[in-house]
Amino acid sequence: MVNETTIGKLNEMRLTAMAESFRQQLQDPSYTALNFEERFGLMVDTEWARRKNNKLTRLIRKADLYFNQACIEDIEYHADRKLDKAQIARLSTCTYIQEKHNIIILGASGAGKPYLSCAFGIAACRNFYTVKYIRLPDLLNELAVARGEGIYKKVMKQYKQVSLLILDEWLLVPLGNSEARDLLEIVEARHKKGSTIFSSQFSPAGWHGKIGEDTLADAILDRIVHDSYTILIDGQDSMRKRKGIQE
């Protein structure tokens, strides 16, 4: 009766994993060989692990990753892709996030940029950083709608505060003046305060023309190019072709 009351109290305090561990110990005679400190430590470890796993699951869900199962361990290092495995391993430790640096991922359409971006996103989640993935066209559209609905500052704040922002399809099409200003607002707010992954088909040399207005372009590029690690994905065959239906 006392044990059931204790289990009930643990569940009431939302220590459900500890309650389950305690019940398991009561039902398994082998635990009697352990002293109090060891048995209590096992219950605490179980609760701690459950909470960490739940937090990781929440972070991945909120990240809205295009590939939510992507991981650094599954990156394919085909010779023609010319990926630097050591560089990717270093970046996967997320030191660049601690130091508030960025990553620029370059490659042709189908090179596998979104997967690599999401793999870095999962690595960040595993280190319990907040992550948000979004296509740049979708972000700019969301900001335009938010401005019309009077919630621009609220939406912008969400993108400013996330630890790692992943911007896919970066500068795929030329920007309008209002879009360029929105982009500068985000880049300026995140400069030295958060990390961003820019995934693009075009090298930084071509970004200036995509942004349009010279002053805005200079300001945006100055806050990105000099503070980013660059990864170039090469390849004779696209990853879509490699993963497609084989005749």
pLDDT in tens, the chain (247 residues): 678 999 999 999 999 999 999 999 999 999 989 999 999 999 999 999 999 999 999 999 999 999 999 999 999 999 989 999 999 999 999 999 999 999 999 999 889 999 999 999 999 999 999 999 999 999 999 999 999 999 999 999 999 999 999 999 999 999 999 999 999 999 999 999 999 999 999 999 999 999 988 899 999 999 999 999 999 999 765 565 555 544 4
Q: Which DSSP helix (H) or strand (E) runs through 99?
A: none
Q: Say whether both 105 and 37 belong to one domain.
A: no
Q: Say whether both 84 and 44 belong to one domain.
A: no
Q: Looking at the domain assignment, is residue 220 inside a domain?
A: yes
pTM greater than the 0.85 cutoff? yes
Q: Say whether both 47 and 133 belong to one domain.
A: no
Q: Say whether both 35 and 156 belong to one domain.
A: no
Give the torsion sign (CA, 44, 46, 47, 52): positive
Q: Looking at the domain assignment, is residue 68 inside a domain?
A: no
Q: Say whether both 206 and 132 belong to one domain.
A: yes
Q: Measured between alpha carbons, how far is 56 from 66 in angstroms, rounded to an integer?
A: 17
Count of domains in the chain?
2
The count of residues in the chain is 247
Q: Measured between alpha carbons, how far is 231 from 200 in angstroms, rounded to an integer?
A: 11
Tokens of 76: 């394919």
Q: Looking at the domain assignment, is residue 69 inside a domain?
A: no
Q: Measured between alpha carbons, how far is 71 from 74 in angstroms, rounded to an integer?
A: 6
Q: Looking at the domain assignment, is residue 134 inside a domain?
A: yes
User: Last residue of a domain, which of 28, 62, 96?
Assistant: 62
Q: Measured between alpha carbons, how far is 47 from 14 in angstroms, rounded to an integer?
A: 10
Structural domain boundaries enclosing 142: 74-243
Give the CATH number of the domain where residue 159 resides.
Answer: 3.40.50.300
Q: Say whether both 46 and 127 belong to one domain.
A: no
Q: What are phi and psi of 28, to 5 degrees?
A: -110, 110
Q: Measured between alpha carbons, how far is 141 from 134 in angstroms, rounded to an integer?
A: 11
Q: Say whether both 47 and 122 belong to one domain.
A: no
- CB contact set of 85 (below 8 Å; sequence gap of 6+): 77
* Partners of 106 in beta bridges: 200, 232
Q: Say whether both 108 and 155 belong to one domain.
A: yes
